[in-house]
Amino acid sequence: MPTRPSGFRDLRASRRRAVRNLLARERLAYLVRRSRQALAKKDAAAAKTAVMAVVSALDRSVRSGLVKAGYAARHKSRLMLRLNKMGKK
């Protein structure tokens, strides 16, 4: 537990950031899950829209420091591979 007033303020701010980050991570996971479901249904239009939403969300998350660049690149690469493979069939 903090002992100084500035420590208490930092603790409150840290808790607010933790809640905001948790919500953002849950939103990101939801978008990834939705795009994978669209890819599994083999609906090209819906899959493309969902994957583009994930790519945009991942890029924003990297900019804000929520996720690391490698994490975002890995997920974007895997989703784009599946989307491109579906388009070739």
Q: How many domains does the chain have?
A: 1
CA distance 33 to 17: 24
Model pTM score: 0.85
Q: What is the CATH number of the domain that holds 45?
A: 1.20.58.110
Domain, as residue range, for 39: 5-88
Q: What confidence tens digit (pLDDT) does each residue in 20-68 have?
A: 999 999 999 999 999 999 999 998 999 999 999 999 999 999 999 999 9
Residue recorded with tokens 């809640």: 19
CA distance 42 to 83: 9
For the chain, the distance separating the N- and C-terminal CA atoms, rounded to the nearest angstrom, is: 59
